[in-house]
Structure formats: C-alpha cells, structure tokens
Amino acid sequence: MFSHVSRFKVRFGETDAAGIVYYPNYYKWMDQATHDLMFAAGFSTRRLMEEELGVPLIEAQCRFQGPLRFEDEVKLVSAVTEVRNKVFRLSHQFYHGDRLVAEGYEVRAWVSFRGGTLKAQALPQALRDQLLSSPTV
C-alpha cells in the first residue's frame, strides 16, 4: 500500500522542561505526515478544502518506546494499512537513527462539508487506487 517518509529535526519548542518531546507533538507530526502522504498521492489538502472535501481524523493512538530530544533527527514512516469504503487507516513509525521510538495510527474518513454539513462519502476511485498502490518509501 502507499507510503511516505518525512524527515525533520525536533525543535526546542516541541520539548518539555525535561528536554523530552511533549507527547501531543507526535499527534501533530502524524497529522502533518498524513497531509504530506495525501499530497504525494495527488490529493492536496488545500485543493480538497477548496472543493469542500476533506479527510478528518476519527481515531488516533500513539505508543511511546523511547524519548526524542531537542535537535534529534527523526524519520517518520507513514503507510496506508487499510482502505475501506469511506475510511482508511495509516500507520506511523518514528525512528531516531535505527531505533524505533514511537508508533501510532490514524483512521481518516473521506467527507464532504458542502452546505455546512459534514457527510462521509465513498472514497473516490482515483484515491482508492493510489492508496492501494505499491509503497513509495
């Protein structure tokens, strides 16, 4: 299935008083990685919003196995793991060097918010085909 790799460096403002990444940042990074993956798949979030479409988060979890600190270089591997009619699931694995430091997942729905009403819809075939395509890591 489709995948994407993000690389970034931990910024000082993403750490707590102990110098360790504050946990909500992992969720922020997973969210950004999903939007990056969607862009790589040809579905820009900006363009979708202009068309009153989106992929809101409906479930998320993250398990922490080791700390990240200021200036650590992070590799975030995101991959589609399941595609259903109206939703898809992504896994996210955070690495510092070769060490897995956290892993999580998100479940996203394909929705229209035309007319101010949020309504789940079937994933477009073009998106479904792209998400089910071979990994791009």
Helix count and strand count (H, E) for the chain: 3, 8
Q: Where are the beta strands (DSSP E) in the chain?
A: 3-9, 53-54, 57-64, 73-83, 87-96, 99-109, 111-112, 119-120
DSSP bridge pairs for 120? 111
pTM of whole model > 0.85? yes
Domains and CATH numbers, the chain: 3-131 (3.10.129.10)
Encode the chain (137 residues) as per-residue pLDDT tens digits: 899 999 999 999 999 999 999 999 999 999 999 999 999 999 999 999 999 999 999 999 999 999 999 999 999 999 999 999 999 999 999 999 999 999 999 999 999 999 889 999 999 999 999 999 876 65
